[in-house]
Amino acid sequence: MDFDIQDYLAGGVEIILKDAMRATLKNPKESLFLLKFSKHAKKATKIRRKYAKKGKNIPAFLIASITSSCNLHCTGCYSRAHDACNDDKPQKQLTDDEWEDIFRQAKELGISFIVLGGGEPMLRRDVILKASRHHEILFPIFTNGTMLDEEYYDLLDKNRNLVPVLSIEGNEDVTDFRRGKGVYRQLIDSMKYMRKNNIIFGASLTFTKENLPTLLSDEYISQLHDLGCKVLFFIEYVPVDADTVNLAPGNEERELLLNEINCLRQEYSDMIFLSFPGDEKTSGGCLAAGRGFFHINSHGGAEPCPASPYSDVNVNDASLIEALNSNLFKSLRDGGILMDDHGGGCVLFEHKDDVERILKDER
The 10s digit of each residue's pLDDT in 213-262 is 999 999 999 999 999 999 999 988 877 666 677 787 888 888 899 899 98
Q: Which fold has domain 5-362?
A: TIM Barrel (3.20.20)
pLDDT higher than 80, residue 10: no
pLDDT higher than 60, residue 179: yes
* Predicted local confidence at residue 1, as pLDDT: 46
* Predicted local confidence at residue 63, as pLDDT: 96
pLDDT higher than 80, residue 290: yes
Amino acid present at 305: C
Q: Which of 5-19, 132-146, 157-171 has the lowest mean pLDDT?
A: 5-19
What torsion, rounded to 10 degrees, do the Cα atoms 162, 45, 7, 103 define?
-50
pLDDT higher than 60, residue 2: no
Residue with more model confidence, 152 or 336: 152
pLDDT higher than 90, residue 129: yes
Question: Residue 285 pairs with which residues in a beta bridge?
Answer: none
Q: pLDDT tier at 24 (50, 70, 90 boundaries)?
A: confident
Cis peptide before 121 (omega within 30 of 0): no
| Euclidean distance between CA atoms 71 and 57, whole angstroms | 36
Annotated domain spans of the chain: 5-362
Q: Tell me the range of 15-24, 126-135, 241-250 where mean pLDDT is highest.
A: 126-135
pLDDT, tens only, 299-332: 999 999 988 889 999 999 999 999 999 999 999 8
Does the pTM surpass 0.85? The reply is yes
**Mean pLDDT, range 348-354, rounded to an integer:** 80
* Predicted local confidence at residue 240, as pLDDT: 65
* Predicted local confidence at residue 103, as pLDDT: 98
Residue with more model confidence, 101 or 55: 101
* Predicted local confidence at residue 333, as pLDDT: 87
The mean pLDDT of the chain is 87
pLDDT higher than 70, residue 76: no
- CA angle (328, 111, 349) in 5-degree steps: 35
- CA angle (255, 231, 220) in 5-degree steps: 65
* Predicted local confidence at residue 22, as pLDDT: 77
Helices (H), the chain: 5-23, 28-53, 78-81, 96-109, 125-132, 150-158, 172-179, 183-196, 212-215, 218-226, 251-267, 320-324, 327-334, 347-350, 352-362
| Euclidean distance between CA atoms 341 and 337, whole angstroms | 9
